[in-house]
């Protein structure tokens, strides 16, 4: 029996579906984080790994644990950005984190860049869970968009 290489990798569609739930459900977030910790990730999967770490930090009770977990995620996200260059999915994940990160962390410097990359590639992003997540996030965070940009994501 032969197995595809993708079977050994975390399923991107599963990660996309679970990601919006992770901020509200610590158990779901930890489950995905554990699955990612068990694999060697790169590229987009590395960005999800990073994002899940930063989201999981919110579920922890100790301020030091929160900070250390967030920093670990930030380091992974920086590496994912380097590996994938201009991937709209990786920039979307970073945008979701930077938009909601506590201001004391100072992790909000790339919001405009991430948004511009996503919008520049908007028409080329195929319909599916990724685009749905992007639409939902941008609709819930309308303050990020101009009226013209908001119209673009509705179509």
Using the predicted structure, report yes or no on whether residue 15 has a pLDDT greater than 70: yes
Task: With cut-offs at 50, 70 and 90, classify the pLDDT of residue 40.
Answer: confident
pLDDT in tens, 123-144: 999 999 999 999 999 999 989 9
The domains of the chain, with CATH numbers, are: 7-154 (1.25.40)
**Averaged pLDDT of the chain:** 91
pLDDT in tens, 58-109: 999 999 999 999 999 999 999 999 999 889 999 999 999 999 999 999 999 9
**Taking the alpha carbons of 120, 112, 68, 56 in that order, is the dihedral positive or negative?**
negative
Place of tokens 């790339």: 110
């Amino acid at each position: 029996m032969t197995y595809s290489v993708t079977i050994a990798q975390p399923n991107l569609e599963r990660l996309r579906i679970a990601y919006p739930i992770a901020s509200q459900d610590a158990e779901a977030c930890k489950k995905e984080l554990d699955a990612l910790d068990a694999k060697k990730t790169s590229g987009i999967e590395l960005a999800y790994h990073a994002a899940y770490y930063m989201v999981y930090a919110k579920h922890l009770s100790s301020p030091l644990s929160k900070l250390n977990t967030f920093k670990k995620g930030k380091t992974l996200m920086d590496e994912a950005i380097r590996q994938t260059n201009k991937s709209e999915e990786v920039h979307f994940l970073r945008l979701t984190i930077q938009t909601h990160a506590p201001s004391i962390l100072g992790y909000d410097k790339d919001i405009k860049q991430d948004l511009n990359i996503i919008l520049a590639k908007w028409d080329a992003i195929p319909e599916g869970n990724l685009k749905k997540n992007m639409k939902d996030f941008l609709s819930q965070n309308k303050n990020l968009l101009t009226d013209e940009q908001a119209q673009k994501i509705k179509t």
